[in-house]
């Protein structure tokens, strides 16, 4: 059944930012396509949406590093909701922390596939419709590693640098076609359940609030075309930078 609502697809869904984005865009009137590698990551998010009265959602498992898997996921979402996706939110990434002496080429290649190739494939799946409609929003989630290659973080920073470059190139090409592409640098830890449980004594104000981040993504989406943001950074007031 093709949805009459506009469609937002979120890739890299879990109990933190992905869940908050799903809630915010569902509240904004969107049908929500949820994509994550593990069913255990997305089923609770979809269930909570339904409990909140947002019945137009679909969860699909896919590996962002696998092109065929990604294409199949988008096909499944189009079959239910139609092809006119208006919003793509790309959060998929892989955290790697080790010495450059121990960083295996295959590990780095996988991280690049998740962040960059996955982001490219996802964009190519929604762009034909966006270009045809003359509107659309694609938001990529970056990190501190998008700007700085810290010691032992090459496995994170190399893919994030590349994703930032992809977002800039896309923004310059697609902006004149009415498609807003932006890159959001998340500079700090998000208040996910795991982070909160593992650091019970930490000041809550030192975490980024996932709902507040999601609201920023929404505001980027609804920005007037005369004042589009291509990149912004978000951090708690207590974060050093």
Query: What's this model's pTM, rounded to 2 decimal places?
Result: 0.95
Instruction: Report pLDDT for 236.
Output: 95
What would the mean pLDDT of 205-217 be, rounded to a whole number? 94
The domains located in the chain, with CATH, are 7-234 (3.40.50.720)
* 151/92 Cα distance (integer angstroms): 22
Statement: residue 4 has pLDDT above 90: no
Q: Work out the number of other CB atoms within 10 angstroms of the CB of residue 188.
A: 19
Which pLDDT tens digit goes with each residue over 116-156? 999 999 999 999 999 999 999 999 999 999 999 999 999 99
Q: Order the strands of the 231-234 sheet from edge to edge.
A: 57-61, 31-36, 7-11, 85-90, 136-143, 179-186, 231-234
Judge contact between 40 and 64, C-beta under 8 A: no
Statement: residue 206 has pLDDT above 90: no
Which pLDDT tens digit goes with each residue over 69-88? 999 999 999 999 999 999 99
């Amino acid at each position: 059944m093709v949805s009459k609502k506009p469609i937002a697809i979120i890739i890299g869904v879990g109990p933190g930012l992905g869940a908050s984005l799903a809630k915010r865009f569902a509240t904004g009137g969107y049908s929500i396509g949820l994509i994550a590698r593990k069913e255990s990551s997305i089923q609770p998010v979809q269930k909570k949406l339904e409990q909140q009265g947002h019945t137009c959602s679909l969860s699909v498992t896919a590996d962002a590093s696998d092109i065929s898997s990604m294409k199949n996921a988008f096909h499944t979402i189009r079959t239910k909701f139609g092809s006119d996706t208006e919003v793509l939110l790309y959060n998929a990434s892989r955290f790697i922390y080790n010495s450059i002496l121990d960083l295996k080429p295959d590990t780095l290649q996988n991280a690049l596939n998740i962040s960059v190739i996955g982001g490219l494939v996802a964009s190519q799946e929604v762009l034909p419709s966006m270009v045809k409609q003359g509107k659309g929003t694609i938001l990529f989630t970056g990190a501190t590693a998008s700007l700085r290659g810290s010691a032992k973080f090459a496995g994170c920073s190399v893919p994030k640098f590349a994703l930032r470059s992809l977002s800039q190139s896309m923004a310059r090409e697609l902006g004149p076609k009415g498609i807003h592409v932006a890159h959001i640098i998340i500079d700090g830890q998000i208040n996910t359940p795991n982070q909160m449980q593992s650091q019970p004594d930490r000041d809550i104000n030192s975490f980024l609030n996932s709902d507040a981040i999601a609201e920023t993504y929404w505001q980027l989406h609804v920005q007037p075309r005369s004042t589009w943001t291509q990149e912004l950074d978000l951090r708690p007031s207590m974060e050093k930078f």
